[in-house]
């Protein structure tokens, strides 16, 4: 049985890193939060940029980030007049049993006093967590997020299938895998639904992707679009294009759909492969999956992406040998060795599985070594979502321009 | 020797990993690296494009990633280039997006 070495949290979850999170409910208080984090080893400050109005989609993503087992302790820094309050975030994070402290700038008497007090709180937390030792845990305590960005023709051929092999190995050893980017699943509903563990999950998959197709049609985008470049690059049908993207999640049964919307934010309730209903935009997609509990991220890229994450190691896998050699400072795995036959899909996939376990046990990824702390909270437009609910699907047509107007009419 | 990769063991097509020309011999590798065949190319095939691993007749399913990616629209011989000229989508015709400029 494979084990990884992590830090056990009070709720029994296992962190692969020992981050201190300085979390601000909105961007008004991010600068003082950064000044606090920069003074304490292992601390990182994050925020969201959707304003201070209360929105569960935003609140839940921030709460999920604080709950992630890679976070050892949380300091909330609020301004004081925001609707999305520190209290709400603290209530969401506290059930994990990790230390959660709050400072409100308007109550503390300004940012200088807040910073001074915040550094003292964080210093104490840092000293305490430094006592924690890594211990061995089964892979049932590990959740891997898979993501792709900056794709090219080698993504569907080498990097995604190789990460898929690793994802299958992790699931077979009792682990959890999540992939999102609902937009990239369009056209593969039938394939994903067939792999659902039951009829209810199959229905949820159809509903999730159907809803995304509706959004895209409302925006005038044909979700089953193939570009001239796709076809010239060798992709014959939309099925082939989409299957290349979803292959990074492997081939195992799908346990369920994890919501990220206002109706609720879901965490996996058991091990296995899960889908997250999330954005196709790389950094917010990773942020969403880490908020759902993923401790490690495997990120495939053909052209070469450099992003990391504030609290989770991101392993970069490229299927393009040229990208690997040009961007070796950013790329962790060269899946391009599959192309010349020097390695096989399976051998590279097994290597990625071992990399994931080693990274989970403390080995730093390239993005971590460089100190990249990407973090973006995604939010759909509440207004647009409401319009889609009241708008009959037949009123939404593909094609440029027309459809967005058609989408607006029926509801009003 | 030029290579072609079978991604899933159920696939009846493989993807070439470099541009190949007429007369070139291509080594087709399974996901485990086993040599499945070494067909000689009867036409040029570009990097990232597919060749057939078995003879297909019109109406046969074309399988890649272990899933149906389309249906043969004309007979396809072993080692022959597989693309929009001899395969159609089972859902939406690919020509619509390309020629229609959607």
Domain assignment present for residue A96? The answer is: yes
Domain assignment present for residue A404? The answer is: no
Domain assignment present for residue A383? The answer is: no
Interface membership of B77 toward A (CB under 8 Å): no
The string of pLDDT tens digits covering residues A120-177 is: 999 999 999 999 999 999 999 999 999 998 888 899 999 999 999 999 999 999 999 9
**Beta-carbon separation of B89 and A237 below 8 A:** yes
**Beta-carbon separation of A238 and B94 below 8 A:** yes
Best mutation target among A156, A237, A338, A349 (most B Cβ atoms within 10 Å) is: A237
Q: Check residue A88 and give its pLDDT.
A: 97
Q: Answer whether A309's CB lies under 8 Å from A291's CB.
A: no
Q: How many whole angstroms separate alpha carbon A358 and alpha carbon A312?
A: 14
Instruction: Specify whether A259 is located in the same domain as A157.
Output: yes
The string of pLDDT tens digits covering residues A239-264 is: 898 899 999 999 999 999 999 988 88
Q: How many whole angstroms separate alpha carbon A389 and alpha carbon B6?
A: 43
Interface membership of B98 toward A (CB under 8 Å): yes
Interface membership of B83 toward A (CB under 8 Å): yes
Domain assignment present for residue A380? The answer is: no
Instruction: Specify whether A161 is located in the same domain as A287.
Output: yes
Q: Check residue A409 and give its pLDDT.
A: 33
Domain assignment present for residue A303? The answer is: yes
Q: Answer whether A37's CB lies under 8 Å from A45's CB.
A: yes
Q: Which domain holds residue A53?
A: 19-129
**Beta-carbon separation of B50 and A236 below 8 A:** yes
Instruction: Specify whether A229 is located in the same domain as A91.
Output: no
CA–CA–CA angle A348, A349, A354 (5° rounding): 95
Q: Check residue B94 and give its pLDDT.
A: 67
Domain assignment present for residue A352? The answer is: yes
Q: Look up the CATH number of the domain holding residue A86.
A: 3.40.50.360
Cβ-nearest to A345 among B5, B47, B49: B5
Q: Confidence class of residue A393 from pLDDT cuts 50, 70 and 90? A: low
Q: How long, in residues, is chain B?
A: 102
The string of pLDDT tens digits covering residues A204-245 is: 999 999 988 888 888 877 766 677 888 888 999 888 988 999
Interface membership of B88 toward A (CB under 8 Å): yes
Radius of gyration of chain B, Cα coordinates, nearest whole angstrom: 13
> Beta B81-82 vs A264-265: how paired, if at all?
unpaired
Instruction: Specify whether A257 is located in the same domain as A174.
Output: yes
Of B73, B10, B96, B59, the C-alpha closest to A238 is B96
Residue linked to tokens 């609720």: A264
Question: How many angstroms separate the Cα of A155 from the Cα of each of A51, A148, A204, A259, A338?
Answer: 36, 8, 27, 27, 12
Smallest CA–CA distance from A152 into chain B, residue: B48
Residues in chain A with CB shorter than 8 Å from the CB of B47 are 153, 234
How far off is chain A from B24, nearest CA to CA, in Å? 15
Instruction: Specify whether A175 is located in the same domain as A193.
Output: yes
Instruction: Please determine, for residue A184, whether its predicted confidence score (pLDDT) is greater than 90.
Output: no
**Beta-carbon separation of B65 and A225 below 8 A:** no
Q: Confidence class of residue A405 from pLDDT cuts 50, 70 and 90? A: very low
Instruction: Specify whether A221 is located in the same domain as A239.
Output: yes
Domain assignment present for residue A394? The answer is: no
Smallest CA–CA distance from A235 into chain B, residue: B49
- Please name each of the domains of chain B with its CATH number: 2-96 (2.30.130.110)
How far off is chain A from B80, nearest CA to CA, in Å? 14
Instruction: Please determine, for residue B53, whether its predicted confidence score (pLDDT) is greater than 60.
Output: yes
Instruction: Please determine, for residue A346, whether its predicted confidence score (pLDDT) is greater than 80.
Output: yes
Instruction: Please determine, for residue A407, whether its predicted confidence score (pLDDT) is greater than 60.
Output: no
Q: Answer whether A272's CB lies under 8 Å from A171's CB.
A: yes
The string of pLDDT tens digits covering residues B34-43 is: 999 999 999 9
The string of pLDDT tens digits covering residues A23-38 is: 999 999 999 999 999 9
How far off is chain B from A191, nearest CA to CA, in Å? 8
Query: In chain B, positions 1-20, which contact chain A (CB-CB < 8 Å)?
Result: 3, 5, 7-8, 15, 17-18
Interface membership of B97 toward A (CB under 8 Å): yes
Q: How many whole angstroms separate alpha carbon A26 and alpha carbon A104?
A: 12
Residue linked to tokens 């965490």: A267
**3-state secondary structure string across chain A:** CCEEEEEECCCCCEECCCEEEEECCCHHHHHHHHHHHCCCCCEEEECCCCCCCCCHHHHHHHHHHHHCCCEEEEEEEECCCCCCCHHHHHHHHHHHCCCEEEEEHHHHCCHHHHHHHHHHHHHHHHHHHCCCCCEEEEHHHCEEEEEECCCCHHHHHHHHHHHHHHHHHHHHCCCEEEECCHHHHCCCHHHHHHCECCHHHHHHHHHHHHHHHHHHHHCCCCCCCCCHHHHHCCCCCHHHHHHHHHHHHCCCCEEEEECEECCEECCCCCCEEEEECCCCCHHHHHHHHHHCCCCEEEEECCCCCCCCCCCCCEEEEECCHHHHHHCCCCCCEEHHHHCCCCCCHHHHHHHHHHHHHHHHCCCCCHHHHCCCCCCCCCCCCHHHHHHHHHCCHHHCCCCCCHHHHHHHCCCC
Instruction: Please determine, for residue A2, whether its predicted confidence score (pLDDT) is greater than 70.
Output: yes
Cβ-nearest to B69 among A158, A227, A243: A243
Domain count, chain A: 2
Interface membership of A243 toward B (CB under 8 Å): yes
Instruction: Specify whether A251 is located in the same domain as A182.
Output: yes
**3-state secondary structure string across chain B:** CEEEECCCCCCCEEEECCCECCCCEEEEECCCCCEEECCECCCCECCCCEEECCCECCCCEEEECCEEEEEECCCECCCCEECCCCEECCCCCHHHHHHHCC
Q: Check residue B9 and give its pLDDT.
A: 96
Instruction: Please determine, for residue B91, whether its predicted confidence score (pLDDT) is greater than 60.
Output: yes
Q: Check residue A412 and give its pLDDT.
A: 27
Which residue, A81, A107, A129, sits at the end of a domain?
A129
Instruction: Specify whether A144 is located in the same domain as A181.
Output: yes
Mean pLDDT throughout A181-206?
93
Instruction: Report the percentage of chain A scoring pLDDT > 70.
Output: 94
Strand partners, A20: A43, A73
Instruction: Please determine, for residue B96, whether its predicted confidence score (pLDDT) is greater than 60.
Output: no
**Beta-carbon separation of A240 and B92 below 8 A:** no
Instruction: Specify whether A68 is located in the same domain as A146.
Output: no
Interface membership of B102 toward A (CB under 8 Å): yes
Q: Confidence class of residue A394 from pLDDT cuts 50, 70 and 90? A: low
Interface membership of B82 toward A (CB under 8 Å): yes
Mean pLDDT throughout A374-389?
90
**Beta-carbon separation of A251 and B64 below 8 A:** no
Sign of CA dihedral A307, A358, A370, A158: negative
Residues in chain B with CB shorter than 8 Å from the CB of A161 are 7-8, 31, 65
The string of pLDDT tens digits covering residues A302-342 is: 999 999 999 999 999 999 999 999 999 999 999 999 998 99
Q: How many whole angstroms separate alpha carbon A50 and alpha carbon A116?
A: 27
Residues in chain A with CB shorter than 8 Å from the CB of B18 are 339
Q: Confidence class of residue A72 from pLDDT cuts 50, 70 and 90? A: very high
CB-based contacts of A75: which residues, under 8 Å, 6+ apart? A20, A21, A22, A23, A33, A36, A43, A100, A101, A102, A103, A118, A121, A122, A125
Please tell me which residue, B102 or B23, carries the higher pLDDT value: B23
Domain assignment present for residue A378? The answer is: no
Instruction: Specify whether A182 is located in the same domain as A246.
Output: yes
Instruction: Please determine, for residue B102, whether its predicted confidence score (pLDDT) is greater than 80.
Output: no
**Beta-carbon separation of A236 and B31 below 8 A:** no
Q: How many whole angstroms separate alpha carbon A245 and alpha carbon A163?
A: 11
Instruction: Specify whether A116 is located in the same domain as A245.
Output: no
pLDDT mean across residues, chain B: 91
Instruction: Specify whether A95 is located in the same domain as A157.
Output: no
How far off is chain A from B31, nearest CA to CA, in Å? 5
Q: Answer whether B87's CB lies under 8 Å from B71's CB.
A: yes
């Amino acid at each position: 049985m494979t084990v990884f070495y992590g830090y056990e949290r009070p709720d029994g979850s296992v962190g692969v890193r020992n981050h201190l999170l300085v979390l601000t409910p909105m961007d008004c208080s991010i600068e003082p939060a950064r000044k606090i984090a920069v003074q304490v080893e292992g601390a990182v400050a994050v925020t969201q940029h959707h304003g201070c109005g209360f929105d569960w989609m935003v609140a839940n993503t921030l709460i999920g980030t604080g709950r992630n087992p890679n976070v050892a302790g949380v300091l909330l820094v609020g301004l004081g007049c925001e609707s999305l309050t520190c209290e709400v975030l603290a209530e969401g994070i506290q059930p994990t049993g990790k230390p959660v402290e709050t400072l409100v700038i308007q109550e503390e008497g300004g940012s200088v006093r807040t910073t001074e007090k915040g550094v003292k709180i964080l210093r104490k937390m840092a000293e305490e967590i430094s006592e924690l030792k890594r211990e061995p845990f089964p892979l049932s305590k590990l959740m891997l997020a898979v993501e792709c960005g900056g794709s090219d023709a080698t993504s569907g051929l080498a990097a995604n299938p190789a990460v898929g092999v690793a994802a299958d190995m992790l699931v077979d050893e009792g682990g959890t895998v999540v992939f999102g980017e609902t937009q990239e699943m369009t056209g593969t509903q039938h394939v994903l639904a067939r792999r659902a563990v039951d009829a209810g999950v199959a229905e949820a998959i159809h509903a999730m992707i159907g809803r995304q197709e509706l959004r895209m049609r409302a925006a005038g985008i044909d979700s089953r679009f193939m570009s001239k470049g796709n076809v010239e690059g060798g992709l014959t049908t939309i099925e082939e294009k989409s299957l290349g993207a979803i292959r990074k999640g492997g081939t195992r049964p799908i346990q369920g759909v994890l919501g990220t919307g206002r109706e609720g934010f879901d965490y996996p309730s058991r091990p296995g492969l899960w889908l997250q209903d999330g954005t196709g935009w790389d950094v917010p997609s990773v942020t969403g999956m880490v908020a759902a509990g993923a401790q490690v991220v495997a990120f495939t890229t053909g052209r070469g992406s450099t992003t990391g994450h504030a609290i989770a190691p991101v392993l970069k896998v490229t299927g393009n040998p040229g990208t690997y050699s040009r961007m070796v400072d950013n790329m962790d795995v060269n899946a391009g060795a599959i192309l010349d036959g020097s390695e096989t899909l399976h051998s590279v996939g097994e290597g990625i599985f071992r990399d994931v376990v080693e990274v989970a046990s403390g080995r730093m990824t390239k993005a971590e070594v460089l100190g990249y702390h990407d973090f973006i909270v995604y939010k759909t437009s509440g207004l647009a979502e409401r319009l889609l609910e009241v708008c009959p699907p037949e009123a939404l047509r593909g094609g440029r321009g027309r459809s967005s107007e058609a989408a607006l009419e029926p509801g009003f | 020797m030029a290579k072609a990769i079978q991604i899933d063991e159920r696939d009846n097509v493989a993807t070439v990993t470099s541009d190949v020309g007429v007369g070139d011999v291509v080594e087709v590798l399974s996901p485990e690296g086993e040599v499945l065949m070494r067909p000689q190319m009867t036409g040029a095939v570009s990097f990232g494009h597919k060749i057939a691993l078995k003879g297909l007749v019109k109406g046969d399913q074309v399988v890649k990633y272990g899933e149906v990616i389309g249906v043969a629209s004309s007979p396809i011989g072993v080692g022959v280039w597989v693309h929009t000229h001899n395969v159609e989508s089972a859902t939406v015709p690919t020509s619509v997006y390309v020629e229609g400029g959607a």
